[in-house]
Structure 1
Amino acid sequence: MVHIIAQLRDLHNLFRHPLYLNSFYILLTYLSSAFFGFIFWIAAAKMYTPQEVGIATALISSMSLIVLLAKVGLDFSIIRYFPARDKSVVYSTSIVITTLFSLIFGLIFILGADLFSPELKDIYTLESAGLLFIFIIANATANLAGIAFVALRRSEYYLLQNLLAGSKILFLFPLAYLGAFGIFGSVGISFILTAVFSSLLIAKSGIKHSFRVDREFIAGSFHFSLGNYLVGLFQTAPNLVLPIMVLNILGADAAAYYYIAFSVAFILFIVPNAISTSLFVEGSNGESLRQSTIRSSIAIYALLIPAVVILYFSGDIILGLIGKEYAANGFELFRVMIFTSLVLPVTYIYSAVKRVQNGVRDLVLLNGVVFASLILLAQTCTTAYGIVGIGYAWVISYAVGVLLIGLGTLWERIATAGTGSHV
């Protein structure tokens, strides 16, 4: 009996380890975001036409892509440099620079809408463009605040932030008369509320916000920020570019079917994303990288494998909750997409380790190859196989990434062994 109590105490202490505790809150945050997103798109599919949903997904993806570009890697620098530098300086500098770039990239997108996505060019009026800028800034502010909460190991604030973002569901109803822009506006208003709430939590955390840019921090973090900017861009951009690609190649209906199937499958992607983020945080705070990597890998696949089995056999039911047409047109893609979640974790764990080790060049090369493969294959396979072709592109591209990691690791061991024998 004493032995059992001791084992339970050890198990309790294990799960209170910062890696698992932080992972738990981050994972819960991502799951709540996915849940609210799922309910949001169910409601949108019931109230709006597939064409309006398709255009709205492209608008939302465009906004998210602009924010991704505007962060210029400073979100990763927040995690990396919070433990060693003045947190208020790091955060304020990141906010100011990201806001500035958000405005620049937003303006470029609006002026070049005819080139980037002709389907969207008629949507942007003076009023809608002004709202886009407001939504982008609110999105960027909320995004960086969430990263700051993770870096502070206060991921419970990150969870609260995302729960508030779920308010977007409530705005679908009064804005239905606006069509596609009603869906987009619902998301944008929720970002405004989240940004205000997040700013209050940031102040409560002891971080003072100013409008000053610290040149010393920019100079010291430049290479790390720039490298991880490219890595983050390569990892995230496909989520935002592909809906626009489908819209341009196959039309608005197909874009809606792809986006919904991908959004449901993306629930699996958040597991490696959450746990690898926590691994990066713990490594940046001096925890054993080897032990944290092993724990992270075990946790990821312990959660993923049963989830993949369940979703493989029940995916049509889940998609059917959104609409029969989404199940009929997106289920085959969905089944292919969920297998991506079994190869993707390797690149996420590898990326977290390399970020702690400042091995940014290797990360840029790896993720650049995966990104290029995914975009090129998606273009080719979509034309040949329809939206299911994008699923094939995802699986093949991340399998290539795993192969590159394996070859790179083998090469490093050979080089290390050769150096040792020489010495």
Structure 2
Amino acid sequence: MAVALPKNFSEVRQHLQEPLIRNSFFIMASSFVAAGFGFFFWMIAARFYSQADVGIATALMSSMGLLILISRLGLDQSVIRFFPQRDKNRVLGTAILVPTGVALGAGVVFIAAVDVISPELTIVRTVAPLYLIFLGAYSITWVLEGAFNALRKSEHYFTLNLLYGTRILFLVPLVFLGAMGIFSAFGLSFVLGLVLALVLLARCSVRPALGVDRVFLREAWQFSAGAYIAGILMSAPNMAIPIMVLHVLGAESTANYYITYAIVSILFMIPYAFTTSLFVEGSHGGEMKKSVFRTLASMFALLIPAIIGLSLFGEQILNLIGKDYVEGMALLQVLAASALFVSICQTFISIAKVRNDIRSLIILSGFISVALLGLGYTLMNRFGLIGMGYAWLATYVAGTLLVGVILKKKGWL
């Protein structure tokens, strides 16, 4: 199927106003803003904090992200899938209360068992109440960000990401806290973001109900459970890898990995933006085949020059953060190359969600999760930090081949 290209300004303007493209633009702009602020955040952190402090802080932040991921129960995806058909206030209230309660409970267990789970992070016990407050704010804002996308109000998601940039302002005043200064700057931005998100939701005439909609939970359970399992399988490696690097290679290598990944994540956010918008449009009944081709064409048009540019100028970018981080250049190039294959896998995941093909969703996400963690651990022990890059590339190339097999088997090709 050929994708018609706009021929004049009027057509370009009409093209950009289509929900798929418009929301993709704001989600992508949000990602770029987050990446830009993230770049300056880590550049300042690297200047004012030791490499060991950066490594411990990133592992703490990853632990919190992992707890959020585990607690989602797929309800964040159900918000997008069921917003067009159900009472938005009740759906959103349920999607906030249930996962946040689970997240806080898991946070308490993590703090109590940190000696066994990750002895390097025992510092979390000294700030347990603060950790739980940040965890709760992070959990709620995660759901509200998805609600803005589901409402096709991704400009509010963009506004939230602008506010998250305030974490930079807290870095220098909190430097005396060491690793906890970085972590506190990160957490405070979510507290501020929660306040703004509730205000913006009210402007959209959406106010989360203070209760659990049991009927919605029962009806959405199959989709939520499948999306939950797939979400954990796909995202857990991203949260677990910094902790794994800390265990295998130490705090300095963890800092190198996290900083390098933060830069390359600019590329990964391009497929995230377009495939999220594809999922939203499919949930609203949009024409999937046409949307899929537009999504792929738009992603590749942006990704290919971005990969080339990052590969050429990555060393200068790493040098801006600190001379100690330049050694991550080889890792950066390999991770960047994997972005093309990541985009194909992410597109298939959105298709499977819209078609409610939970089995294929879990097969692909399970393969990627097991391969990425297994290869990552094995190759890091053999090749050092670059081994994690080899694992990323090999996993998503194989994942792309698996997507082709599934599509052919289902007759979607």
> Same fold per TM (> 0.5)?
yes
- Structure having the higher Rg: 1
Code of the aligned partner of 1:199: L
Amino-acid identity (%)? 41
Deviation at 1:412, TM superposition (A): 2.0
Q: Match for residue 63 of structure 1?
A: 64
Distance 2:119 2:340 in 1: 36
Question: 2:172, 2:8 → 1: CA distance?
Answer: 52
Q: Corresponding residue for 2:164?
A: 165
> Quick check: 109-118 or 186-195, which moved more?
109-118
Q: Which residue of 2 aligns with 1:324?
A: 323
Conserved 8 A contact 2:111-2:125: no
Say if 2:79 is the partner of 1:78. yes
Alignment deviations for residues 374-395 of structure 1 (CA, whole Å, 9 cap, x no partner) = 0000000010011100000001
Distance between the aligned counterparts of 1:107 and 1:131, measured in 2? 12
Q: Contact 2:234–2:369 (CA<8 Å) still a contact in 1?
A: yes
Where structure 2 has 5 or more consecutive residues not aligned to the other structure, the ranges are 1-5
Q: Which residue of 1 aligns with 2:132?
A: 133
Q: Is the counterpart of residue 399 in structure 1 residue 397 in structure 2?
A: yes
1:382 to 1:212, Cα distance in 2 relative to 1, 3 A: same
Q: Which residue does the alignment assign to 2:348? A: 350
The letter for the 1-side match of 2:214 is R
Q: Distance in 2 between matches of 1:170 and 1:159?
A: 19
State how far apart, in whole Å, the 1-side matches of 2:11 and 2:195 are. 41
Please state if 1:239 is matched with 2:238. Answer: yes
Does residue 263 of structure 2 align to residue 272 of structure 1?
A: no
Query: Per-residue CA shift, 1:62-85, capped at 9, x if unaligned?
Result: 111111111111111000000000
Q: Any residues of structure 2 matched to 1:114-263 within 5 Å, and which?
A: 114-121=115-122, 123-126=123-126, 128-263=127-262
How far apart in 2 are the matches of 1:316 and 1:109? 37
Q: Which residue of 2 aligns with 1:33?
A: 34
Structure 2 distance, partners of 1:394, 1:386, is 14
User: How much has 1:200 moved relative to structure 2?
Assistant: 1.3
Alpha-carbon shift at residue 409 of structure 1 (Å) = 1.6
Cα offsets for 1:258-316 (capped at 9, x unmatched): 11011101110000001000000011111100000000000000000000111111100
Post-superposition offset of 1:120: 0.6
Q: How far does residue 12 in structure 1 lie from its aligned partner after superposition?
A: 1.7
Which stretches in structure 1 are left out of the alignment for 5+ residues? 418-423
Give the equivalent residue in structure 1 for 2:10.
9
User: Residue in 1 aligned with 2:3?
Assistant: none
C-alpha RMSD of the superposition: 1.3
> AA paired with 1:407?
V
SS in 2 for 1:79: helix
Quote the Cα distance in structure 1 between the aligned partners of 2:86 and 2:306: 40
Which residue is 2:373 aligned to?
A: 375
Q: Look up the SS of the partner of 2:115 in the other structure.
A: helix
Alpha-carbon distance in structure 2 between the residues aligned to 1:31 and 1:81? 28
The 2-side partners of 1:357 and 1:342 are apart by: 23
Offset from partner CA, 1:72-124 (integer Å, 9 cap, x none): 11111000000000000000011110111111111121122122211112x02
Q: What SS does structure 1 have at the residue aligned with 2:209?
A: coil
Q: How far does the alpha carbon of each residue in 1:171-214 deviate from its partner, in whole angstroms, 9 at most, with x for none?
A: 00111000000000000111100011111111221112232101
The equivalent position to 2:408 in structure 1, one of 397, 407, 410, is 410
Using the size of structure 2 for normalisation, the TM-score is: 0.97
Equivalents in 2 of 1:99, 1:157: separation in Å?
22
Q: CA deviation at 1:6?
A: 7.5
SS in 2 for 1:358: coil
Give, in angstroms, the shift of residue 343 of structure 1: 0.7
Structure 1 residue 125, shift from structure 2 partner: 2.9
